[in-house]
Amino acid sequence: MAVKFYATLLATALSSLALTAQANVIDFSSAPASFTSYAEQGVTFTSMTGGTIHNWTTPNGTSGLLEDSTPRSFLRADIAGGATFVQVDLGDYGSDADTLFLDIYDLSNTLLGHTELLISSSFNGMQALSLASSNIAYAIFGATAPAINGSSVYADNFTWRGSANGVPEPSSFFLALGALGALGVTSRRRQK
Protein backbone atom coordinates (compact mmCIF):
# COMPACT_ATOMS: atom_id res chain seq x y z
CA MET A 1 0.00 0.00 0.00
CA ALA A 2 2.77 2.46 0.94
CA VAL A 3 4.77 1.59 -2.18
CA LYS A 4 1.75 2.29 -4.39
CA PHE A 5 1.13 5.62 -2.60
CA TYR A 6 4.74 6.77 -3.01
CA ALA A 7 4.86 5.60 -6.63
CA THR A 8 1.71 7.64 -7.38
CA LEU A 9 3.19 10.64 -5.55
CA LEU A 10 6.42 10.33 -7.55
CA ALA A 11 4.55 10.04 -10.87
CA THR A 12 2.51 13.16 -10.04
CA ALA A 13 5.60 15.14 -9.06
CA LEU A 14 7.52 14.08 -12.16
CA SER A 15 4.64 14.97 -14.49
CA SER A 16 4.46 18.36 -12.78
CA LEU A 17 8.18 18.86 -13.42
CA ALA A 18 7.77 17.84 -17.07
CA LEU A 19 4.95 20.36 -17.57
CA THR A 20 6.99 23.19 -16.06
CA ALA A 21 9.87 22.59 -18.48
CA GLN A 22 7.80 23.47 -21.54
CA ALA A 23 8.47 26.75 -23.28
CA ASN A 24 5.98 29.21 -24.72
CA VAL A 25 6.42 30.02 -28.41
CA ILE A 26 4.82 33.04 -30.08
CA ASP A 27 4.92 32.64 -33.87
CA PHE A 28 2.99 35.88 -34.66
CA SER A 29 0.51 34.07 -36.92
CA SER A 30 -2.35 35.74 -35.01
CA ALA A 31 -0.76 39.20 -34.71
CA PRO A 32 -2.55 42.03 -36.52
CA ALA A 33 -1.19 43.25 -39.88
CA SER A 34 0.07 46.50 -38.27
CA PHE A 35 0.21 47.63 -34.65
CA THR A 36 2.08 49.74 -32.13
CA SER A 37 1.50 47.30 -29.26
CA TYR A 38 0.57 43.63 -29.37
CA ALA A 39 0.17 41.19 -26.46
CA GLU A 40 0.06 37.40 -26.62
CA GLN A 41 0.69 34.76 -23.91
CA GLY A 42 1.61 37.46 -21.39
CA VAL A 43 4.23 39.11 -23.62
CA THR A 44 3.73 42.63 -25.00
CA PHE A 45 5.63 43.63 -28.14
CA THR A 46 6.39 47.28 -28.95
CA SER A 47 8.87 49.36 -30.92
CA MET A 48 11.56 51.12 -28.87
CA THR A 49 10.50 54.40 -30.53
CA GLY A 50 6.75 53.78 -30.44
CA GLY A 51 6.63 53.23 -34.20
CA THR A 52 4.47 50.90 -36.22
CA ILE A 53 5.28 47.19 -36.41
CA HIS A 54 4.10 45.09 -39.35
CA ASN A 55 3.29 41.39 -39.45
CA TRP A 56 4.92 40.41 -42.74
CA THR A 57 6.36 37.28 -44.31
CA THR A 58 9.86 36.41 -43.06
CA PRO A 59 12.66 34.97 -45.21
CA ASN A 60 11.53 31.52 -43.95
CA GLY A 61 8.01 32.09 -45.31
CA THR A 62 6.38 32.44 -41.88
CA SER A 63 4.65 35.37 -40.16
CA GLY A 64 7.06 37.70 -38.40
CA LEU A 65 7.53 41.23 -37.16
CA LEU A 66 9.24 44.11 -38.96
CA GLU A 67 9.55 47.55 -37.32
CA ASP A 68 8.73 50.39 -39.74
CA SER A 69 10.30 53.60 -38.39
CA THR A 70 12.86 55.70 -40.28
CA PRO A 71 15.48 54.75 -39.29
CA ARG A 72 14.24 51.34 -38.13
CA SER A 73 14.08 50.76 -34.41
CA PHE A 74 14.57 47.75 -32.16
CA LEU A 75 11.71 45.66 -30.79
CA ARG A 76 10.93 45.22 -27.11
CA ALA A 77 9.14 42.28 -25.49
CA ASP A 78 7.87 42.82 -21.92
CA ILE A 79 7.22 39.49 -20.19
CA ALA A 80 4.49 39.52 -17.53
CA GLY A 81 5.67 37.58 -14.48
CA GLY A 82 9.25 37.40 -15.72
CA ALA A 83 11.23 34.69 -17.46
CA THR A 84 14.35 32.60 -17.12
CA PHE A 85 14.98 31.98 -20.83
CA VAL A 86 14.35 33.96 -24.03
CA GLN A 87 14.95 33.06 -27.67
CA VAL A 88 14.00 34.84 -30.89
CA ASP A 89 14.59 34.11 -34.59
CA LEU A 90 16.02 37.12 -36.46
CA GLY A 91 16.82 37.37 -40.15
CA ASP A 92 16.98 39.22 -43.41
CA TYR A 93 16.41 38.86 -47.15
CA GLY A 94 20.10 39.38 -47.91
CA SER A 95 20.08 43.09 -48.75
CA ASP A 96 22.87 44.16 -46.37
CA ALA A 97 25.16 42.88 -43.64
CA ASP A 98 23.59 43.04 -40.19
CA THR A 99 24.61 42.37 -36.61
CA LEU A 100 21.64 40.59 -35.07
CA PHE A 101 21.36 41.02 -31.31
CA LEU A 102 19.32 40.02 -28.26
CA ASP A 103 19.55 41.78 -24.88
CA ILE A 104 17.74 40.82 -21.67
CA TYR A 105 17.01 43.08 -18.68
CA ASP A 106 15.54 42.85 -15.20
CA LEU A 107 12.91 45.19 -13.67
CA SER A 108 15.67 47.62 -12.61
CA ASN A 109 16.75 47.99 -16.27
CA THR A 110 19.99 46.15 -15.52
CA LEU A 111 21.42 44.33 -18.53
CA LEU A 112 21.44 40.61 -17.66
CA GLY A 113 22.82 39.30 -20.94
CA HIS A 114 23.76 40.16 -24.51
CA THR A 115 24.34 38.03 -27.58
CA GLU A 116 24.93 38.99 -31.18
CA LEU A 117 25.59 37.40 -34.55
CA LEU A 118 26.96 38.99 -37.71
CA ILE A 119 25.20 37.93 -40.92
CA SER A 120 26.63 38.72 -44.35
CA SER A 121 24.95 40.76 -47.08
CA SER A 122 24.23 37.50 -48.95
CA PHE A 123 22.51 35.78 -46.00
CA ASN A 124 18.84 35.01 -46.71
CA GLY A 125 17.08 33.34 -43.77
CA MET A 126 16.59 33.41 -40.00
CA GLN A 127 18.94 32.69 -37.08
CA ALA A 128 17.96 31.90 -33.46
CA LEU A 129 19.53 33.92 -30.65
CA SER A 130 18.93 32.91 -27.03
CA LEU A 131 19.85 33.91 -23.48
CA ALA A 132 19.08 32.58 -20.01
CA SER A 133 19.12 34.32 -16.63
CA SER A 134 16.93 34.62 -13.59
CA ASN A 135 14.50 37.54 -13.32
CA ILE A 136 14.22 38.51 -17.00
CA ALA A 137 11.61 41.29 -17.20
CA TYR A 138 12.01 42.23 -20.86
CA ALA A 139 14.07 41.65 -23.98
CA ILE A 140 15.22 44.03 -26.70
CA PHE A 141 16.16 42.61 -30.08
CA GLY A 142 16.84 43.58 -33.68
CA ALA A 143 19.94 44.43 -35.65
CA THR A 144 22.46 47.14 -36.25
CA ALA A 145 23.76 47.89 -39.71
CA PRO A 146 25.57 50.70 -41.48
CA ALA A 147 22.58 51.29 -43.76
CA ILE A 148 21.06 54.79 -43.86
CA ASN A 149 17.56 53.54 -42.94
CA GLY A 150 18.76 51.18 -40.24
CA SER A 151 18.31 47.47 -40.49
CA SER A 152 15.35 45.67 -42.08
CA VAL A 153 15.46 42.61 -39.84
CA TYR A 154 12.50 40.32 -39.24
CA ALA A 155 11.67 38.67 -35.90
CA ASP A 156 9.81 35.37 -35.47
CA ASN A 157 9.26 32.55 -32.96
CA PHE A 158 9.68 34.46 -29.72
CA THR A 159 10.24 31.69 -27.16
CA TRP A 160 10.33 32.08 -23.40
CA ARG A 161 10.16 30.16 -20.16
CA GLY A 162 8.74 31.97 -17.18
CA SER A 163 9.23 31.25 -13.51
CA ALA A 164 5.72 29.76 -13.42
CA ASN A 165 6.21 27.55 -16.48
CA GLY A 166 9.89 27.14 -17.10
CA VAL A 167 11.64 26.50 -13.82
CA PRO A 168 10.37 23.82 -11.51
CA GLU A 169 9.05 25.29 -8.31
CA PRO A 170 11.10 24.20 -5.30
CA SER A 171 8.03 22.50 -3.83
CA SER A 172 7.61 20.31 -6.95
CA PHE A 173 11.29 19.44 -6.97
CA PHE A 174 11.37 18.49 -3.29
CA LEU A 175 8.09 16.61 -3.62
CA ALA A 176 9.63 14.46 -6.37
CA LEU A 177 12.84 14.01 -4.38
CA GLY A 178 10.94 13.08 -1.20
CA ALA A 179 8.66 10.64 -3.02
CA LEU A 180 11.65 8.97 -4.67
CA GLY A 181 13.43 8.64 -1.32
CA ALA A 182 10.34 7.28 0.44
CA LEU A 183 9.80 4.81 -2.39
CA GLY A 184 13.37 3.56 -1.99
CA VAL A 185 13.09 3.21 1.79
CA THR A 186 9.74 1.41 1.55
CA SER A 187 11.07 -0.89 -1.15
CA ARG A 188 14.18 -1.70 0.91
CA ARG A 189 12.04 -2.51 3.99
CA ARG A 190 9.90 -4.91 1.93
CA GLN A 191 13.01 -6.76 0.75
CA LYS A 192 14.16 -7.39 4.34
The correct CATH number of 24-167 out of 3.40.630.30, 1.10.150.530, 2.40.50.140, 2.60.120.260 is: 2.60.120.260
**What gap in Å lies between CA 118 and CA 145, rounded to an integer?**
10
Q: Which residues pair with 53 in a beta bridge?
A: 35, 67
pLDDT in tens, 27-81: 999 999 999 999 999 999 999 999 999 999 999 999 999 999 888 899 999 999 9
For residue 144, count other CB atoms closer than 10 A to its CB: 15
pTM: 0.74
Cα–Cα distances in Å, from 125 out to 26, 115, 119? 18, 18, 10
Q: How confident is the model at residue 17 (pLDDT cuts 50, 70, 90)?
A: very low
Q: In the chain, where does the domain assigned CATH 2.60.120.260 lie?
A: 24-167
pLDDT number for residue 190: 61
Q: How confident is the model at residue 152 (pLDDT cuts 50, 70, 90)?
A: confident
**What gap in Å lies between CA 170 and CA 163, rounded to an integer?**
11
Residue 1 has pLDDT above 80, yes or no: no
pLDDT in tens, 78-122: 999 999 999 999 998 887 888 999 999 999 999 999 999 999 989
